[in-house]
C-alpha cells in the first residue's frame, strides 16, 4: 500500500521526517521486523486538509468521473502539523500523485514555495531516482523540490545528496 504525507506548512517537513522515523523505530522495536508502506512523497496542503478525516482526490483529468477517486485515510500524524495518509484503493505512481495533488490544489506556484517532495526508496538505483526526479521536475518545475530517501528496512527518512541528482 502507498502513502503520502500531508503537511500544513513547508517548515514542518523536517519535524514530520523525524516523527515518522521515530514512529517506525518504535513500531519495529515493538513488533520485530517491519517494513513501512511506500511513501510516495510529502505535499504542503492547507489547514483544512490537515483537519479532514478523509480526503478524496480526483485521479486525473483523463480518467472517467466514476473512477476518479483515491481514498486517502489517516494512518498517523501530529494534529495541525502533518498527517500520513494511506491510499487505500489505489497504488499510484509519484507522477500520478503529483498530478492529482496539483489538479486539486487551490494555490498556485506563485503564491507558495514548491509543495511536493518526492520520497524514493534508498534501495532504488541512483539512475532510476535521478530519472524519475527529472521527469517530475519537468512536469511541474515550480512544485517539486529535492527528494528524500527512505531506508528500506527502518523507514528512516533522509535528504538525497544534491550531487546525486546532477545529470
| Cβ 55 vs Cβ 72: under 8 Å | yes
Q: Which strands make up the sheet holding 116-121, listed edge to edge?
A: 54-57, 70-78, 82-87, 2-7, 38-44, 116-121, 148-150, 157-159
Helix (H, G, I), strand (E, B) or coil at 12: helix
Q: Is residue 96 predicted with pLDDT exceeding 70?
A: yes
Model confidence over 37-83: pLDDT tens digits? 788 999 988 766 665 555 555 555 554 443 444 566 666 778 788 88
Select the more confidently predicted residue: 17 or 28: 17
Q: Is residue 117 predicted with pLDDT exceeding 90?
A: yes
Q: What's the whole-number average pLDDT of the chain? A: 77
Q: Is residue 147 predicted with pLDDT exceeding 90?
A: yes
Q: Using pLDDT thresholds of 50, 70 and 90, give the confidence band for residue 112.
A: low
Which range has the worst mean pLDDT, 47-61, 125-139, 143-157? 47-61
Q: Are strands 2-7 and 82-87 parallel, antiparallel or unpaired?
A: antiparallel
- Every domain of the chain and the residues it spans: 2-165
SS3 string of 50-65? HHCCEEEECCCCCCCH
pLDDT confidence of residue 33:
64
Model confidence over 151-165: pLDDT tens digits? 887 888 898 776 556
User: What average pLDDT does range 117-139 have in this prediction?
Assistant: 94
Amino acid at each position: 500500500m502507498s502513502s503520502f504525507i500531508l503537511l500544513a506548512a513547508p517548515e514542518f517537513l523536517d519535524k514530520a521526517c523525524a516523527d515518522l522515523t521515530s514512529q517506525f523505530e518504535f513500531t519495529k522495536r515493538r513488533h520485530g521486523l517491519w517494513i513501512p508502506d511506500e511513501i510516495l512523497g510529502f505535499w504542503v496542503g492547507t489547514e483544512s486538509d490537515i483537519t479532514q478525516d478523509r480526503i478524496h482526490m480526483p485521479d486525473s483529468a483523463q480518467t472517467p468521473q466514476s473512477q476518479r477517486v483515491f481514498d486517502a485515510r489517516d494512518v498517523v500524524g501530529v494534529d495541525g502539523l502533518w498527517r500520513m495518509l494511506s491510499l487505500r484503493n489505489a497504488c499510484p505512481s509519484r507522477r500520478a500523485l503529483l498530478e492529482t495533488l496539483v489538479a486539486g490544489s487551490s494555490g498556485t506556484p506563485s503564491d507558495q514555495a514548491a509543495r511536493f517532495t518526492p520520497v524514493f526508496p534508498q534501495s532504488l538505483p541512483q539512475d532510476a531516482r535521478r530519472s524519475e526526479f527529472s521527469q517530475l521536475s519537468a512536469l511541474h518545475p515550480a512544485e517539486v523540490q529535492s527528494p528524500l530517501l527512505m531506508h528500506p528496512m527502518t523507514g528512516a527518512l533522509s535528504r538525497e545528496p544534491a550531487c546525486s541528482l546532477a545529470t
